Amino acid sequence: MSARVLIVDDLFPNVKLLETKLALEYFDTLAAMNGPDAIAICEKGLCDIVLLDVMMPGMDGFEVCRTLKNNPLTAHLPVVMVTALDQPSDRLKGLDAGADDFLTKPVDDTALFSRVRSLVRLKAVTDELRSRALASRDFGMGDPLALATAETGLNANILLVEDRRGAAERMAAALTQQHTVTIEADPNRAILTAAEGGFDLVLVSLDLENFDGLRLCSQLRSLDRTRTVPLIMLAEAHDRARVARGLDFGVHDYLMRPVDRNELVARVRTQIRRKRFSEVLRGAVQASMEAAVTDGLTGLHNRRYLDNHLGSMFSDARLSDRPVAGLLLDIDRFKSINDTWGHEAGDEVLRTFAERVRLHTRTIDIVARYGGEEVVIILPDAGLGEAQVIAERIRERIEATPFSIQRASRTIPVTVSIGVAVRQATDTGPADMLKRADVALYRAKDSGRNRVEAQAA
Amino acid sequence: MSARVLIVDDLFPNVKLLETKLALEYFDTLAAMNGPDAIAICEKGLCDIVLLDVMMPGMDGFEVCRTLKNNPLTAHLPVVMVTALDQPSDRLKGLDAGADDFLTKPVDDTALFSRVRSLVRLKAVTDELRSRALASRDFGMGDPLALATAETGLNANILLVEDRRGAAERMAAALTQQHTVTIEADPNRAILTAAEGGFDLVLVSLDLENFDGLRLCSQLRSLDRTRTVPLIMLAEAHDRARVARGLDFGVHDYLMRPVDRNELVARVRTQIRRKRFSEVLRGAVQASMEAAVTDGLTGLHNRRYLDNHLGSMFSDARLSDRPVAGLLLDIDRFKSINDTWGHEAGDEVLRTFAERVRLHTRTIDIVARYGGEEVVIILPDAGLGEAQVIAERIRERIEATPFSIQRASRTIPVTVSIGVAVRQATDTGPADMLKRADVALYRAKDSGRNRVEAQAA
């Protein structure tokens, strides 16, 4: 994946050097000579990844990184910190600030390209999700990005695939303060454990006895149930080639042995945050799609849902010559409830009404708010007799217990009138059936309300 | 990106050979010995890419490919056809069937891995989108996958970056039967042309004079405005290394010179279909999110949208000490319109009412359907006097022209009563303001309807 790489360094020769290297590999580059400029470029969405020098006058690299990672607009950008020396303390400070990885000057080309490519590829997969979630924010469905950015990355469920007992226990001890850790010493069982366990992250040793840890990583990245779970490889220093290969096929990160306890904790947390960031966004998109077919007040389906489903349900019934019934329910004298007790009380009545109706319908039935105080119920496979029994039960359950309003400070009696109709062979569509239910409903109202009336036979 | 590769071949040794090669590169493999088995595996979603032998007894590779590409469940899977000889006619038949690429036996390893990796990476980016679109189908928002699969890939807007005049004209001639082609001979201008032109596909020569076509490809893949546009490289046979490099950073496909006219047409069409497939899915997700905050009948915003936005609009106004006005509109005697002319006429009145209201409000105002025949308008920065003027204008525009109902066969007079209120310093939230608007609305109804009343000063 090609990408726009932002190089942040206060020294022009350093910028030039990285620019040249990246351009030869067909990356596009931008440069910023200080922190505030870099942040402005990121906020404008002009780059895909940031190579960030640590030592800069004014705002240093750690501060720039922290700012980027705490801003919902830029938190998704991968940040690679470039440090002058391989200082463990710098790495930790960077990881604490939310950095995704490190490069040590002088920058090794292979490490640079493999890391940048891998981070950009992982980003590309979530970019689509992020832009949908951004749209849901524009439609006023809350701000999922802010929520996602606030995720702390703690209390995760971690699987550690490691057959060296001492190493496994040391790592588990470091992680159990913040997370729950399961150790799996048998790599042959690991794929099943991972698929069934609902883990937030898997750590895989590349030095397992008689087993290629990289193969396990590849399987985890391939299986539906585990492919979005972040993977971290544990590797010996001489094993850089296999690490690069793993990054190339989608492993998220790695740790070199001997594993530094603090670095382990920090990298695990970064990956957990990244995963949950995606999950929050995915949830937000899902929720706004569910909202599209749900009535906000009652939680019942709305008319849009009914219109979308009723047609196909009706023609399925016609093709297989099976019955369908439609119930039209209308709360009696609802306007006077509103006028006497106020709109809020009217809303309370509607919500309670919806709850009781839902209790007496099945999952396969469609229950939808049709208009102000009208609800439609569609019963697949129900004939007229059965539908009347269900309607009568609902009518009775509404009348039996008065509705509490004004936060349970008062109860009022509520009744419902119901019209029942079933599909007829001559119907050209569901509208015909609903019209008969409507006629029956009017008859119920005319005959004194609190009644069930069925279509004329 | 690791992936599950389905190998389809009726000869066991061929399957074994490909399995071994792919396993060494950490791909997961599955095998099918005939077409129907292959299709079943794909339909169950068990693989990410298909390597498909052409010559099989029973259902041949072309038929398998066509079946996969015409099924909404499997149309997104990349298919690479494996042919015994490099037969141009086989390639064309494959492309016609919708194949994404070809490999010739004996399979060259570099070509195999670079192609499989590139196709799997492109797929990974759209997988997220596809799964959201699938969810929108489950919620009953139509079937975007079926729509997307039906896309024919014709009538596209194509940019051809090529400085050899003869070659450019030959290719343009082949494509203009189905598409519109713009030739850009100056590679330095091509990036601007591409960014501004709204192209569906860009063809880039890798043999431009004094210019690296691969660099142009990389820039096109990096820029926001062009990164989702499919790219096809045009390369000389000796240039396979650069082709592989392009595929690695995200170029979608390539053609070897001398360009076969039919292969050109077929590959262009495959890429256009792929792009539009994504666009249809993206549009479906977007539409279902828009639907979540839109009233289905009138197209106005719904109460959910109002609730999501009003709070922050109100507190912004409080912080900056600026006015906000709220109008509550209620159609007069709406129930009698319904009772006299029927529900459908009532719906027509609501729609026309919403249209007229929208005409007299600004983009920054919120106009939302509040209940059955009630509409709320929120006017940022409007004081009581201004809000009254706007309310009076709307009242007048509703009364002035009778509403046509029953498909314009009849017109009826409609009037509206409006209550107006503005934010006060003592308000704890927007509900206080809306309550005053409600009181004013009741006063308007009490005083004979078809009136604007404002809150007491």
Query: What confidence score (pLDDT) does residue A141 get?
Result: 66
Restricting to B residues 238-257, those with a Cβ less than 8 Å away from any Cβ of A are: 245, 249-250
Asked if residues B77 and B71 have their Cβ atoms less than 8 Å apart, the reply is: no
| pLDDT at residue B217 greater than cutoff 90 | yes
- Minimum CA–CA partner of A44 in chain B: B224
Q: Is B288 on the interface with A (CB under 8 A)?
A: yes
| pLDDT at residue A286 greater than cutoff 70 | yes
Length, in residues, of chain A: 457
Which residues from B are below 8 Å from A305, CB to CB?
Answer: 139-140
Q: Is B297 on the interface with A (CB under 8 A)?
A: yes
Restricting to A residues 39-78, those with a Cβ less than 8 Å away from any Cβ of B are: 45, 48
Which residues from A are below 8 Å from B291, CB to CB?
Answer: 292-293, 304
Q: Do A1 and B372 touch (CB under 8 A)?
A: no
Q: Do A140 and B3 touch (CB under 8 A)?
A: no
Which residues from A are below 8 Å from B249, CB to CB?
Answer: 1-2, 26
Q: Is A291 on the interface with B (CB under 8 A)?
A: yes
Length, in residues, of chain B: 457
| pLDDT at residue A401 greater than cutoff 90 | yes
Query: What confidence score (pLDDT) does residue B291 get?
Result: 84
Q: Report, as an integer, the average pLDDT of A222-235.
A: 92
Q: Do A2 and B45 touch (CB under 8 A)?
A: no
Q: Is B140 on the interface with A (CB under 8 A)?
A: yes
| pLDDT at residue A231 greater than cutoff 90 | yes
**pLDDT tens digits, A175-197:** 999 999 999 999 999 999 999 98
Q: What percentage of chain A carries pLDDT values higher than 70?
A: 98
Query: What confidence score (pLDDT) does residue B430 get?
Result: 92
**pLDDT tens digits, A414-436:** 999 999 999 999 998 899 999 99
Q: Do B28 and A2 touch (CB under 8 A)?
A: no
CB-based burial of residue A400 (10 Å sphere; 0-12 exposed, 13-18 middle, 19+ buried)? Answer: exposed
Query: What confidence score (pLDDT) does residue A4 get?
Result: 94
Domain ranges of chain A: 1-107, 151-292, 303-454
How close, in Å, is residue B13 to chain A by CA atoms? 23
Q: Is B446 on the interface with A (CB under 8 A)?
A: no
- Catalytic annotation, residues of B: 373
Q: Do B28 and A303 touch (CB under 8 A)?
A: no
Q: Is B305 on the interface with A (CB under 8 A)?
A: yes
Q: Is B218 on the interface with A (CB under 8 A)?
A: yes
**pLDDT tens digits, A315-335:** 888 889 999 999 999 999 998
Please report the sign of the dihedral spanned by the C-alpha atoms of residue B190, residue B192, residue B195, residue B197. negative
Q: What percentage of chain B carries pLDDT values higher than 90?
A: 61
Give Rg (Cα) of chain A.
Answer: 31
Residue A96: what are its φ and ψ, rounded to 5°? Answer: -60, -35
Domain A303-454, what fold? Answer: Alpha-Beta Plaits (3.30.70)
Q: Is A141 on the interface with B (CB under 8 A)?
A: yes
Angle (CA) B150 B151 B152, round 5°? 110
Structure tokens at B108: 């060259």
Using DSSP, state whether A432 is helix, strand or coil: helix
Which residues from A are below 8 Å from B328, CB to CB?
Answer: none
Pick the most confident of A95-109, A285-299, B418-432: B418-432
| pLDDT at residue B196 greater than cutoff 80 | yes
Instruction: Give the residue with greater pLDDT, A382 vs A124.
Output: A382
Q: Measured in whole angstroms, how far is the alpha carbon of residue A103 from the centre of its chain?
A: 32
Q: Where are the beta strands (DSSP E) in B93-249?
A: 101-104, 157-161, 180-184, 201-205, 231-235
How close, in Å, is residue B2 to chain A by CA atoms? 5
Which residues from B are below 8 Å from A202, CB to CB?
Answer: none
**How many Cβ atoms from other residues are within 10 Å of residue B338's Cβ?**
18
Q: Do B303 and A297 touch (CB under 8 A)?
A: yes
- Minimum CA–CA partner of A311 in chain B: B140
Q: Do A285 and B290 touch (CB under 8 A)?
A: no
| pLDDT at residue A88 greater than cutoff 80 | no
| pLDDT at residue A106 greater than cutoff 90 | no
DSSP assignment of B359-378 equals HTS-TTSEEEE-SSSEEEEE
Q: Report, as an integer, the average pLDDT of A15-32.
A: 93
Lowest mean pLDDT among A14-23, A86-95, A160-169: A86-95
Which of the four pLDDT bands, split at 50, 70 and 90, describes residue A1? low
| pLDDT at residue A392 greater than cutoff 90 | yes
Which residues from B are below 8 Å from A249, CB to CB?
Answer: 1-2, 26
| pLDDT at residue B351 greater than cutoff 70 | yes
CB-based burial of residue B106 (10 Å sphere; 0-12 exposed, 13-18 middle, 19+ buried)? Answer: exposed
Structure tokens at B28: 């997961």
How close, in Å, is residue B307 to chain A by CA atoms? 9
Nearest residue, CB atoms, B121 vs list A121, A135, A297: A121
Nearest residue, CB atoms, B308 vs list A127, A141, A218: A141
Query: What confidence score (pLDDT) does residue B108 get?
Result: 84
What's A237's DSSP letter? G
Nearest residue, CB atoms, B293 vs list A139, A245, A307: A139
Which of the four pLDDT bands, split at 50, 70 and 90, describes residue A145? confident
Q: Is A445 on the interface with B (CB under 8 A)?
A: no
DSSP assignment of B119-152 equals HHHHHHHHHHHHHHHHHHHHTTS--HHHHHHT--
Q: Do A218 and B371 touch (CB under 8 A)?
A: no
Lowest mean pLDDT among A76-90, A163-177, A266-280, B429-443: A76-90
How close, in Å, is residue B305 to chain A by CA atoms? 6
Restricting to B residues 325-354, those with a Cβ less than 8 Å away from any Cβ of A are: 335
Which of the four pLDDT bands, split at 50, 70 and 90, describes residue B85? low
- Minimum CA–CA partner of B121 in chain A: A121
B430 upstream amide cis, omega within 30 of 0? no
Which residues from B are below 8 Å from A140, CB to CB?
Answer: 293, 304-305, 308-309
Give the C-alpha separation, A111 to B405, whole Å.
71
Instruction: Look over chain B and give the mean of its residue pLDDT values, rounded to a whole number.
Output: 91
Q: Does domain B151-292 have CATH number 3.30.9.10?
A: no
Query: What confidence score (pLDDT) does residue A131 get?
Result: 83
Which residues from B are below 8 Å from A289, CB to CB?
Answer: 132, 135-136, 139, 141, 285, 288-289, 292
| Tally: H helices and E strands in chain B | 16, 17
Lowest mean pLDDT among A53-62, A360-369, B107-116, B365-374: B107-116
Structure tokens at B164: 């050899």
| pLDDT at residue A246 greater than cutoff 90 | yes
Q: Which residues have a Cβ under 8 Å from the Cβ of B342 and sit 6 or more positions away?
A: none
Q: Is A308 on the interface with B (CB under 8 A)?
A: yes
| Tally: H helices and E strands in chain A | 16, 17
Q: Do B289 and A285 touch (CB under 8 A)?
A: yes
- Minimum CA–CA partner of B282 in chain A: A132
Which residues from B are below 8 Å from A338, CB to CB?
Answer: none
Query: What confidence score (pLDDT) does residue B15 get?
Result: 93
- Catalytic annotation, residues of A: 373
Q: Do B305 and A2 touch (CB under 8 A)?
A: no
Give the C-alpha separation, B35 to A71, whole Å.
51
Query: What confidence score (pLDDT) does residue A12 get?
Result: 93
Asked if the domains A151-292 and A303-454 are classified in one and the same CATH topology, the answer is: no
Ramachandran area for residue B67 (φ above 0: left; ψ -120 to 50: alpha; else beta): alpha
Across the A:B interface, residue pairs with CB atoms under 8 Å apart total: 155
Q: Report, as an integer, the average pLDDT of A353-363.
A: 91
Strand partners, A294: A301
Q: What percentage of chain B carries pLDDT values higher than 70?
A: 98
Lowest mean pLDDT among A120-124, B172-176, B297-301: A120-124
| pLDDT at residue A375 greater than cutoff 80 | yes
Structure tokens at A111: 């490490």
Instruction: Give the residue with greater pLDDT, B407 vs B97.
Output: B97
Q: Is B128 on the interface with A (CB under 8 A)?
A: yes
Give the C-alpha separation, A212 to A216, whole Å.
7
Give the C-alpha separation, B261 to A15, whole Å.
45
The domain A1-107 is placed in CATH, from the list 3.40.50.2300, 3.20.20.70, 3.30.930.10, 3.40.50.300, at 3.40.50.2300
**pLDDT tens digits, B145-186:** 888 888 888 999 999 999 999 999 999 999 999 999 999 999
Q: Is A225 on the interface with B (CB under 8 A)?
A: no
Query: What confidence score (pLDDT) does residue A85 get?
Result: 67
Which of the four pLDDT bands, split at 50, 70 and 90, describes residue A407? confident
How close, in Å, is residue B61 to chain A by CA atoms? 25
Give the C-alpha separation, B334 to B289, whole Å.
31
Q: Do B218 and A302 touch (CB under 8 A)?
A: no
**pLDDT tens digits, B418-442:** 999 999 999 988 999 999 999 999 9
Asked if residues A380 and A315 have their Cβ atoms less than 8 Å apart, the reply is: no
Q: Is A441 on the interface with B (CB under 8 A)?
A: no
Nearest to A354 by CA among A392, A388, A398, A413: A398
Burial call B16-53: b when 16+ CB within 10 Å, e when fewer: ebbbeebeebbbbbbbbebbebbbebbeeeebbbbbbb
Q: Do A128 and B126 touch (CB under 8 A)?
A: yes
Which of the four pLDDT bands, split at 50, 70 and 90, describes residue B1? low
Q: Report, as an integer, the average pLDDT of B304-333.
A: 90
